[in-house]
Structure 1
């Protein structure tokens, strides 16, 4: 296989423009619906390094090791050169360092609590970011024909009611970011409902949504450019369990998706652009057995599949692969061991690591190394 550089169709510096600094770390006091462990939150801060271009990125020291940078260079990436690193617990200091750069605005991946210090440096109005990501507001942004039957209810009143129509999908209504299905409960039985009551114990409001006959669950990605232009970037089919947990993405390299689905997902991004939003967005859809298209979730940030989607054309061109599965690979305590195990598969072109996180270097001696990686392959017919 001829090796070459893997470059994204758009870099973050092109999407966000000059004098922007990317701050992907969630706020510890405002991340109730993201993974609880600080090590996991830190491990998510390097997900965009392969597509950053010239954009400065604040990320964990776990992405600054020679073995990690060497593996990504061997894969074919031009990793962001302008990085501001932090070790465990040091993200606020890193933010303060970034904020000292003259004329720079901060691109927050996740909304911070109202009144947090430094919000004046936010590129996007923090109140707008919280509004757009609140599941309670989905129907105000999406075309009515693409909104599933849903209602916003008081949490306490809902679970105090004895009679509930099941099955149903319950979702947290919050201005905080959600991820990995942690803010969603699939309720098919009274036991599921009791578990949901515990899950949403600290919520004031929840969304009660109809259960759909979902045959496909794609996430469509968009970029709102500095001038307000909305660009469709591509999609990934989400690998989600029947309980609603997210385990990765399937990316068909060059595969199509119905125009009606693209339009349904584009509309809320257009409306957000008119309201002043700029940057990356992901729209989760449900394509049903009756050929209807519904919008399930809006995530106005870089999504789990964004980096892979922007790199997919280059990967397909270099390797000839027609499909890839995006997964998190968890390894031994030492990142050099994980890198050594991965390297032969990287050389073959079938494994494309997008990150390598060294938990030891990041300040988490009890955690193992991990990598966000694409496993690339070719779908063959049964006769082949």
Structure 2
């Protein structure tokens, strides 16, 4: 199980990594501290650099799952349980002049901009939803308007319902949160109430595409290796656009890869170094349209890193939440021992005093997707 690239190859020997969403009030991020903490260990398997993880991902139960799968267990030296411990590690890293790799910028009082692995302002800018059509030819961007909050309803009349509303500032979003798909005028009104409760002063009003396929197209860049295509997967989303996982695909259309590469090239010219994934839609008419740019690790990054090692023609990334922790762990253990299921992280709910559901992120692989989905029912 060798990844295509390690984070050490990409970010350098002095790099350290914190995947945790910053402790801050952001209405466009998942508001579930346990889920955010659970995902901190998701990239450890291909990191080869220190990763700041929650303690509940480092328990004996988690270690046993990796042993059952025949995977190396990389216990992390930097662990936290509270916000204070998390920020203390960031401070120690900064004092040690480490190159700190983040998924999202932290507030300046949590981490000064001089301690990131790349220019912090450039990183924030290229991840902004409002910046998308400045990184790409407009023919690859859905019809969209960036307007003051007060003009949203009037502007929406120029686009046939349904429409998509997104925050128009540089506030980070993740997993589809902050993206509001409005099928009616009442839904637009409801969305506006959410925007009015935030600090967003502008809104992106965008046409809703007729989607045939929704790809996460990923690339890697470091000065030592240049731009490398990592792979692409089909994204699983709810009707509301909330991200739920990925399915691997091999026959990615060349025009999807070409559009993704053009975005990556522009990001590199802006100063980006790292892993990036772009949400690229193939419409029912065959056009390629970019709806979101994620210049950071993505949910399916690990799946693409290890795809060539997996002995199968179908693969899927997904995460699950327990209803009963003991039963949940038993089912996972059985499935891992049977083969075709590899753990990425296990967040042990029994590591807390209060009742807390366990969480599990993983990679499935088999000869076809139906066999994966049949076995997956035991977890669902």
TM-score of the two chains, using structure 2 as the length reference: 0.90
Match among 323, 335, 357 for residue 368 of structure 1: 357
> In the TM superposition, what is the alpha-carbon distance from 1:81 to its structure 2 partner?
4.5
State the distance in 1 between where 2:309 and 2:322 align: 27
> In the TM superposition, what is the alpha-carbon distance from 1:288 to its structure 2 partner?
0.8
| Aligned residue number for residue 337 of structure 2 | 347
Mapped contact 1:224–1:278 kept (Cα < 8 A): yes
372-381 or 196-205, larger mean C-alpha shift: 372-381
CA RMSD of aligned residues (A): 2.2
Match among 229, 232, 238 for residue 232 of structure 1: 229
The equivalences for 1:105-184 within 5 A come to 105-114=99-108, 116-159=110-153, 163=157, 165=159, 166-184=161-179
State the distance in 2 between where 1:161 and 1:118 align: 38
State the distance in 1 between where 2:79 and 2:203 align: 37
Match among 243, 246, 253 for residue 249 of structure 1: 246
| Aligned residue number for residue 185 of structure 2 | 190
Mapped contact 1:111–1:175 kept (Cα < 8 A): no
State the distance in 1 between where 2:173 and 2:19 align: 14
1:322 aligns with 2:334: no
Q: Gaps (5+ residues) in structure 2?
A: 371-380
Q: Any idea what the Cα deviations from partners look like across 1:228-261, whole Å, max 9, x if unmatched? A: 7111100110011222122211113xx1211111
Mapped contact 1:356–1:371 kept (Cα < 8 A): yes
Match among 282, 287, 298 for residue 287 of structure 1: 282
Q: Any idea what the Cα deviations from partners look like across 1:187-239, whole Å, max 9, x if unmatched? A: 11123212211332212111111121110000011111144711110011001
> In the TM superposition, what is the alpha-carbon distance from 1:31 to its structure 2 partner?
3.6
Mapped contact 2:132–2:292 kept (Cα < 8 A): yes
Mapped contact 1:7–1:77 kept (Cα < 8 A): no
Count of residues in Structure 1 that have an aligned counterpart in Structure 2 = 366
Q: Secondary structure at the match of 2:52?
A: strand
Match among 28, 44, 52 for residue 49 of structure 1: 44
- Distance change >3 Å, CA 156–CA 286, structure 1 → 2: same
Q: Any idea what the Cα deviations from partners look like across 1:342-365, whole Å, max 9, x if unmatched? A: 12211222222211012343x573
> In the TM superposition, what is the alpha-carbon distance from 1:13 to its structure 2 partner?
1.2
Q: Secondary structure at the match of 2:363?
A: strand
